[in-house]
């Protein structure tokens, strides 16, 4: 991507303008962003991917967050300095959106999407170095928060993701290192899974953005 045109993303031979450049500021156009996301989604996930009309409102919030539109984010109570906790029913598209939206702002620091169950499997094999690994300053999206198994290494149980969330909280407070997450669970279920101490840290670590509980399973 050319630094002279950060508002234009090139995929193959096609250019996707996401808005217009006014001086050093990009004036984003939401409908143009949706055109790009639909096209990029098909490249990433296959031709059956599509942007659903009923998701426009949540996409508007997410796009505003990713481009750093503080005026819009303030209206929705979203802090652009925090990470995102994207929740909703199974199959509503949380993971796909978190994998997709990072491509819309290639000039910003990327994050890696990691399934929580994979992290726990790693812990079961090699132990506490896995928790230390996620205490670094890279940006992550912890995918499927709360449904991972309890970690077990050399006969000792460990709430691996709970420990990682505490580490990520410290990184956020000290160094503004951002963490994102997706989950099928609601706030009460997450507190039951991780305990009140971790849940209170999560409130400071994340903006909660939720799909409607009635959102249909897009995989069917």
Does residue 116 have a pLDDT over 80?
A: yes
Question: Poorest-confidence range of 148-152, 187-191, 215-219?
Answer: 215-219
Cβ partners under 8 Å of residue 21, min gap 6? 5, 6, 7, 27
0.85 surpassed by pTM: yes
Domains in the chain: boundaries: 79-210
Q: What share of the chain has pLDDT > 70, as a percent?
A: 99
Q: What mean pLDDT is predicted for residues 73-95? A: 96
Determine the pLDDT at residue 2: 45
Taking residue 107's Cβ as centre, other Cβ atoms within 10 Å add up to 10
CA distance between the termini of the chain: 36
Answer yes or no: are the C-beta atoms of 36 and 74 closer than 8 Å.
no
Q: What mean pLDDT is predicted for residues 105-134? A: 95
| pLDDT range class, residue 217, cuts 50, 70, 90 | confident
Taking residue 172's Cβ as centre, other Cβ atoms within 10 Å add up to 19
Of the candidates 34, 31, 40, the one whose C-alpha atom is nearest the C-alpha of residue 10 is 40
Of the candidates 148, 164, 151, 159, the one whose C-alpha atom is nearest the C-alpha of residue 124 is 151
Does residue 3 have a pLDDT over 80?
A: no
Q: What mean pLDDT is predicted for residues 191-207? A: 94
Rg over alpha carbons for the chain, rounded to the nearest Å, is: 18
Q: Which tokens is 171 given? A: 């990184």
Answer yes or no: are the C-beta atoms of 60 and 51 closer than 8 Å.
no
Cβ partners under 8 Å of residue 61, min gap 6? 72, 73, 76, 78, 209
DSSP string, 82-100: SEEEEE-STTSSHHHHHHH
User: Considering the domain 79-210 in this protein, what is its CATH number?
Assistant: 3.40.50.300
């Amino acid at each position: 991507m050319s630094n002279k045109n950060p508002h234009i993303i090139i995929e193959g031979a096609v250019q996707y303008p996401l808005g217009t450049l006014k001086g050093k500021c990009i004036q984003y156009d939401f409908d143009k962003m949706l055109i790009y996301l639909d096209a990029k989604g098909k490249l990433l996930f296959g031709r059956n991917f599509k942007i659903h009309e009923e998701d426009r409102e949540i996409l508007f919030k997410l796009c505003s967050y990713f481009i750093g539109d503080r005026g819009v984010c303030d209206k929705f109570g979203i802090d652009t300095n925090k990470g995102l906790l994207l929740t909703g029913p199974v199959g509503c598209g949380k993971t796909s959106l978190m994998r997709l939206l990072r491509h819309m702002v290639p000039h910003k620091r990327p994050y890696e999407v990691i399934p929580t169950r994979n992290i726990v499997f790693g812990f079961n094999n090699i132990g506490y170095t896995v928790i230390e690994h996620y205490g670094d300053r890279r940006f992550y999206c912890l995918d499927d928060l709360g449904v991972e198994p309890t970690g077990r290494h050399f006969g000792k149980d460990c709430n691996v993701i709970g420990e990682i969330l505490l580490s990520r909280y410290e990184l956020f407070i000290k160094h503004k290192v951002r963490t994102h997450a997706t989950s099928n669970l609601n706030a009460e279920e997450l507190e039951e899974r991780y305990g009140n101490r971790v849940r209170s840290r999560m409130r400071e670590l994340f903006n909660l953005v939720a799909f409607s509980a009635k959102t249909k399973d897009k995989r069917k």
